Each structure stands twice: as C-alpha cells, then as structure tokens.
C-alpha cells in the first residue's frame, strides 16, 4: 500500500512539474522577446510606406459638411485634407473597395441596417483613385471581393448583379452554388475590370491588397458561408474563429486556405491583365493580403502566408492588423506584434505591412468599448498615442516592416482612436497628427 501511495505521489509530482514548466513556457512566450542576430526580410529596395490617408469614411463626412483643422490649416475638401497628410509625411493613399457598385439612399443591405452599406462602394473607391491621380500620390487599393464588407468576424460573398458581363459568367447560379473553377473564372474577370477601372483614372498603384482581415475566408469561400467549394465551411460555428488559428491550422489549410489561395491568384491574374491591356509596366507591382493578429499566434500567422504561397498565390508583402488595445491571445500586445513580424520575416521571407493600426487617446466607446486595454508603458492619452505610433515605426524600420497605415485617422466613429477630436462636425488635430512629421523621422 505504501509503495502504491509513493508511486502515486511521484506521478502527481511529475504532472505538477510538467504543468509548472508549461506555465513558465507560456509566461515566457507571452512576455519575452529576443531579436539577437535577427536579419529582416528584404523589401525590394522600397522606401518605408507612411500610409496616412483619407479613410473610407471621409467622403461621406465631407459630403455632410465636415471640416478638419490641423494647426493653422483648415481642410474642407478631401483633396485639402490629403494634401495636409502628404505635407506631414504621407507617401500613399488608400481605398477599400467592395463589389457593391453604387451608393444607395439607405444604409441597409437586404433590408437589414448595414453601417458599411455606403462607404466602400466601387464608385467611392474610384473617386479616391481620382483624388490620388490629381495629387500625384500612389494609392493602395484593397479589393475585398465582398458585397459591402468583410473582416475577421464578418464574411460576405461578392455580388456581381451590377456588373452584367461579369455576372453572366455565373450562368444563372447563385454564388454559393459555384465550383472553385467557376469562382476563379468570375474573379479573374472582376480583377481585370476593377484593375482597368482604377488604373484608367491615371493613379499610380504600387501595391494591391486583396481581402480584408482574411484569416477566415475570401470571396465567399469562408467560415460560416454556404459554398459548393466545401460544404464543411457553412457548419463551422463562429467561436471556432478563436480556436482554429491556434489549434487547427492544418484544418484551415485543408478546408479553407488552399481554396482561398486559388481565388486570390485569380484576382491577381485579372489585375495584371489590366496592366497589359493598358500598356502599363507591372514589373514592380506588389500584391498583399492582410490578416488580423488578435486571434492568431505568430506561428499561425506565418503559416497562413506560407500556405497561400504553397497553393498558388504569390505575395510580395504580408499584411497584418495591429490593435494594441483590443483583446487578444497575448497579454503583452507589443511582444505579440514583434514576434508576429519577425516570424513572418523568418518563416516566409516576406516584409510586413501594418494595414491597420491605432491606439486610443482616451476611453473607447460604442461598439469598440471593449478595446480599452492599456499597453504597458503607454498612457491612453494624446502623448501615449503619439509615442506608441513613433515607437512602432522606429522598431519596424530595422525589423522587416515595409510600412504602416494609421487606420481611419479622420473618422469620428473611431472615437478616441482617431487623430482628431470632433465637435459639431469640426475635427481638430491631436498631438499625433500635429507632430506626425517629427514622429516618423525620429
């Protein structure tokens, strides 16, 4: 009996020791980051991209009479505000484009309220491209291939009823009934159409982004959506979005990512055909896709980009979102960010572009009230907001970062994340914008 008890104690001791080691490893992984002997991925000699740009929400705001004050300058048109951004160091503009073609009278989709119904349309994207052409500043179009919107949590299939020649390629089928080959045929045609339309405005595009926070799908081949490509996707519950990136990367590869890669490749092929048709040189044109990092480990992020390459989508830049105040798998978001960038650099050989970044200067409200996590070392005030932005840039320049986009700097609905304080449709620049030129140079 005594031997049995002694044996049981040994087993329990071993289990306790293993658990202690596991906890220590988890804590180490959460809070410790080393970069000795780190060699960042090459960036094809491209200069660092300071993508301070008009947000997708700026055009509707200007249409309602908004003005923006930056120091002693006032912008009452989109062109004037982007010109101020450029004076402060911006190197490119941005346009997010859904497949919905025209602005409609109500912010609804299929009778359901939709805050994105009239901010990412094709027409609005083209309007931003025309501004870029007028100001002679490059623009980074994000081709979502979703009807009005997609992100980490929301997936939509594209709709092409407003594009008769493209819609005809569906041969009367609903999008959910199309095979992968049929989807790719439609997407290549759409890529050619949207590429030609954008380039015909006279704007310069050095970087194309396909999809938006596309961890869980693209162009209707997505978790939670009905699709003939893989019926398993429709039945996957939403909570699995928070488990699969850590514990089910191989499942994602087999059931989702291998198909999405082919869909991306089809859009890319179509866009490149537009360059050929217009007689434009596409030699240095780059492609990217950007994913959310709050639901993924650094290794899982690297796996996504490697699987894209394995299944046919050649990317030049890996895109990520970085929101330090949002809930995530890591307690220290700065460690998560650094490990994610370096993991993608090392394992994929790709530079990283931060397609979405921001940090609050005060308490977040409304639908983003949960995004109030304070990052150690940075206060949630204007100074902390500015300092974190500058520190991310300074670290990134020597660690494989290709550039950064401060997300929605001029959007009142972005609450304290915005670069402006708003009062009765007048935005007054915060410290982060007033000091922008100095912050990016430091």
How is residue 148 annotated by DSSP?
S
Number of CB atoms found within 10 A of residue 347's CB: 16
Quote the pLDDT of residue 242.
86
Per-residue pLDDT tens over the stretch 100-142 = 999 999 999 999 999 999 999 999 999 999 999 999 999 999 9
Residue ranges of E strands in 11-130: 49-50, 67-70, 73-75, 93-97, 108-109, 112-113
Quote the pLDDT of residue 26.
46
291 has which bridge partners?
Answer: 320
356 has which bridge partners?
Answer: 321
Quote the pLDDT of residue 34.
61
Average pLDDT on 406-433 reads 98
- Which residue, among 93, 147, 140, 139, has the nearest Cα to 120 in the 3D structure? 147
CA distance 170 to 346: 41
Bigger pLDDT: 29 or 285? 285
Q: Where are the domains of the chain?
A: 33-441
Quote the pLDDT of residue 329.
74
423 exposed, middle or buried (CB, 10 Å; 0-12, 13-18, 19+)? exposed
Quote the pLDDT of residue 392.
97
Per-residue pLDDT tens over the stretch 364-400 = 999 999 999 999 999 999 999 999 999 999 999 999 9
CA distance 2 to 4: 5
Quote the pLDDT of residue 8.
55
- Distance from first CA to last CA of the chain, Å, rounded? 71
Crossing angle of helices 258-278 and 298-310, rounded to 10° = 60
Q: 320 with 355: CB under 8 angstroms?
A: yes
CA distance 306 to 308: 5
73 has which bridge partners?
Answer: 70
Per-residue pLDDT tens over the stretch 153-212 = 999 999 999 999 999 999 999 999 999 999 999 999 999 999 999 999 999 999 999 999
Bigger pLDDT: 358 or 37? 358
Question: Binning pLDDT at 50, 70 and 90, where does residue 295 land?
Answer: confident
Element (H, E) at 420: strand 420-423
The string over 80-101, giving b where at least 16 C-beta atoms fall within 10 Å of a residue's C-beta and e elsewhere, is bbbbbbbebebbbbbbbbbbbe
Cβ neighbours of residue 191 closer than 8 Å, sequence gap 6 or more:
143, 266, 267, 268, 269, 270, 271, 273, 274
404 has which bridge partners?
Answer: 50, 354
2 exposed, middle or buried (CB, 10 Å; 0-12, 13-18, 19+)? exposed
Quote the pLDDT of residue 41.
80
Q: 87 with 80: CB under 8 angstroms?
A: no
Give Cα 368 distance to the centre of its chain. Answer: 17
Question: Binning pLDDT at 50, 70 and 90, where does residue 409 land?
Answer: very high
For residue 11, pLDDT beyond 60: no
CA distance 323 to 360: 10
CA distance 154 to 39: 36
For residue 25, pLDDT beyond 50: no
CA distance 318 to 355: 9
Average pLDDT on 29-45 reads 68
Quote the pLDDT of residue 81.
98
CA distance 224 to 222: 6
Evaluate whether the domain defined by 33-441 bears CATH number 3.30.9.10.
no
Q: 103 with 118: CB under 8 angstroms?
A: yes
Element (H, E) at 423: strand 420-423
Question: Binning pLDDT at 50, 70 and 90, where does residue 23 land?
Answer: very low
Q: 204 with 190: CB under 8 angstroms?
A: no
To the nearest whole number, what is the mean pLDDT of the chain?
92
Residue ranges of E strands in 326-366: 352-357
């Amino acid at each position: 009996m005594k031997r049995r008890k002694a044996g049981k104690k040994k087993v329990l001791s071993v289990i306790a020791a293993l658990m202690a080691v596991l906890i220590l490893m988890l804590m180490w992984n959460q809070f410790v980051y080393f970069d000795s002997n780190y060699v960042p991925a090459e960036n094809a000699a491209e200069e660092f991209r300071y993508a301070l740009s008009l947000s997708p929400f700026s055009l509707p705001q200007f249409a309602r009479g908004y003005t923006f004050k930056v120091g002693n300058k006032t912008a009452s048109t989109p062109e004037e505000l982007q010109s101020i951004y450029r004076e402060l160091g911006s190197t490119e503009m941005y346009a997010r484009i859904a497949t919905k073609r025209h602005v409609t009278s109500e912010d609804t989709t299929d009778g359901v309220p939709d805050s994105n119904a009239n901010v990412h349309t094709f027409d609005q994207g083209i309007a931003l491209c025309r501004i870029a052409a007028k100001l002679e500043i490059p623009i980074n179009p994000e081709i979502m291939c979703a009807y009005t919107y997609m992100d980490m949590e929301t997936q939509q299939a594209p709709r092409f009823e407003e594009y008769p020649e493209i819609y005809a390629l569906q041969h009367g089928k609903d999008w959910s009934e199309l095979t992968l080959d049929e989807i790719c045929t439609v997407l290549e045609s759409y890529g050619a159409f949207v590429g030609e339309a954008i380039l015909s405005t006279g704007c310069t595009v050095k970087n194309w982004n396909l999809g938006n926070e596309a961890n869980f799908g693209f162009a209707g081949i997505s978790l939670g959506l009905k699709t003939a490509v893989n019926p398993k996707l429709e039945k996957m519950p939403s909570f699995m979005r928070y488990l699969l990136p850590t514990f089910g990367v191989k499942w994602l590869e087999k059931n989702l990512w291998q198909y999405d890669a082919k869909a991306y490749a089809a859009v890319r092929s179509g866009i490149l055909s537009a360059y050929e048709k217009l007689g434009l040189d596409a030699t240095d044109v780059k492609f990217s896709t950007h994913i959310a990092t709050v639901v993924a480990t650094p290794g899982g992020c690297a796996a996504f980009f490697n699987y894209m390459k394995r299944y046919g989508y050649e990317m030049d830049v890996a895109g990520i979102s970085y929101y330090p105040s949002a809930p995530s798998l890591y307690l220290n978001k700065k460690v998560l960010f650094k490990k994610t960038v370096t993991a993608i650099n090392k394992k994929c050989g790709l530079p990283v572009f931060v397609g979405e970044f921001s940090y609050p200067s005060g308490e977040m409200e409304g639908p983003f009230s949960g995004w109030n996590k304070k990052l150690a070392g940075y206060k949630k005030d204007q100074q902390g907001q500015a300092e974190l932005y500058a520190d991310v840039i300074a670290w990134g320049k020597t660690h494989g970062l290709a550039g950064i986009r401060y997300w929605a700097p001029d959007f009142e609905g972005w609450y304290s994340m915005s670069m402006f304080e708003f009062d009765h449709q007048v935005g007054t620049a915060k410290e982060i914008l007033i000091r922008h030129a100095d912050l990016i140079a430091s």
